[in-house]
Structure 1
Amino acid sequence: MREKEVAEWFGVSRGPVREVFRQLTQEGILIAEPNKGVRVAYQPSPSVRPLLVELRRIIECYVLDHIFDQITDEDIARWEAVLEKIREACEKNDTAALIQYDLEFHSAIVKSHDEKDLFTIWQPIAFRMLIHYDRLGDLMDSYREHSAIIEAIKRRDKEGALAALRTNIQ
């Protein structure tokens, strides 16, 4: 794909297309090829998924552990609003929306840490996991897992929240 072609297709200037291409390349979704444009990156080998899961668990649990005592009622309310979107997506059996809101939920937690490099490290790992999203069974399990994270936070149960977070990331 080339910037010019995509910009013409969507009826926009090349600037926004260039920025999206840059971001998706940085996240590992696209690969830039000199004088050719970009192409979709190859999917990571399924054998890499366990490593991605473990890396993501390490980062998110590190963040939650470090921010736990500073979590405010406003933080909880913000996360509960996303949790409600997750519930609605699960009830509608809308996997695409569930993936979007799952990512929004976890992004909000990671972004709560003052060290912004953590989000920069976490984001491509999370996106690579989405390529292999294979959550089977009752989508409401995802809602229940996210709800368990929030409920443990509300009880000020750090170990429970960390355990629920580890369970959810799979």
Structure 2
Amino acid sequence: MNTRLIYSIEEQVTDVLRSALIAGEYEPGSKMNESTLASNLGLSRTIIRRVLMSLYKEGLLNNAEGHGYYVLEPLNQKTKKMLLHIRSSIEKYAIRAFKKRASVRDYDELETILSRMNNHCKQNKYLEFIKADIDFHGYFVRLAGGDDLHNLWQPVVFRIHMHKGISKTFQSDVDEHALILNAMKNQDTKTAIDAILDNIA
């Protein structure tokens, strides 16, 4: 079995801070203070520094040389439109490629992620819901184009989600993903793409 079940403290902290940033829990433009984070989390500044560097590389923080890391400001409309275009182009390609490459196991994996989304919806766990949402889209993007495509797609998605807020109910988002998955299972590429575009708009 190749699946990793144990994550380092550094990976766990990166995941926690990533989720908080994506959910907009930090004030735009605020500094990610190494000393404060290290004290609050009971970790060394060295670990926190590596975590912040990782988040910077993922496009979730700005690095003001010599002054540390800062939370990104919200996207302006022009930039947001451009990033949505990039994301939609990648996911449209991925849906078409997924149709040719997907196995029964891949559809089962998407069902599992959708089930996670539904559970988080019922429990009103916003951060976990967002992570499952990203996992759903990321799964078929990675299958379609491997790590190269996924690594292009991921920071775009992270950036779009930051400061987005909750624009619709959890349940409507679950329903949209169910529509996407059902269309994919039925080999209905057009409906799947239309549903994807509706979901990410």
Global fold match (TM > 0.5): yes
For residues 48-107 of structure 1, the C-alpha deviation after alignment (integer angstroms, 9 at most, x for no partner) is 322222211111111221231111111111111110111122233443332221111112
What does residue range 69-88 of structure 1 map to in structure 2 within 5 Å?
Answer: 69-88=100-119
Q: Is the Cα–Cα contact under 8 Å of residues 2 and 36 in structure 1 kept in the other structure?
A: no
Q: Would you say 1:20 and 2:61 are equivalent positions?
A: no
Q: Which moved more, 1:44-53 or 1:145-154?
A: 44-53
Match in the other structure for 1:30: 61
Q: How far off is 1:15 after superposition?
A: 4.6
Q: Which amino acid aligns with 1:77?
A: D
Q: How far off is 1:127 after superposition?
A: 0.9
TM-score (norm 2): 0.74
Going from structure 1 to structure 2, the CA distance change for 1:137 and 1:33 (only over 3 Å counts) comes to closer
Q: Is the Cα–Cα contact under 8 Å of residues 101 and 144 in structure 2 kept in the other structure?
A: no
Between the aligned partners of 1:14 and 1:48, the Cα distance in structure 2 is 34
Q: How far off is 1:35 after superposition?
A: 2.4
Q: Would you say 1:136 and 2:178 are equivalent positions?
A: no
Q: Is the Cα–Cα contact under 8 Å of residues 180 and 195 in structure 2 kept in the other structure?
A: yes
Count how many residue pairs are aligned between Structure 1 and Structure 2: 170
Match in the other structure for 2:130: 99
| Seq. identity, % | 28
Q: Which amino acid aligns with 2:192?
A: A
TM-score (norm 1): 0.86
Match in the other structure for 1:66: 97
Unaligned runs of 5+ in 1: none
Q: Which moved more, 1:26-35 or 1:103-112?
A: 26-35
**SS of residue matched to 1:44:** coil
Q: Which amino acid aligns with 2:179?
A: A
Q: Would you say 1:57 and 2:88 are equivalent positions?
A: yes
For residues 13-48 of structure 1, the C-alpha deviation after alignment (integer angstroms, 9 at most, x for no partner) is 445323321221122221122222211122222443
Unaligned runs of 5+ in 2: 1-31
Between the aligned partners of 1:60 and 1:145, the Cα distance in structure 2 is 15
**SS of residue matched to 2:62:** strand
Q: How far off is 1:7 after superposition?
A: 3.1
Q: Which amino acid aligns with 1:112?
A: L
Q: Would you say 1:157 and 2:169 are equivalent positions?
A: no
Between the aligned partners of 2:181 and 2:33, the Cα distance in structure 1 is 43
Q: Is the Cα–Cα contact under 8 Å of residues 46 and 132 in structure 1 kept in the other structure?
A: no
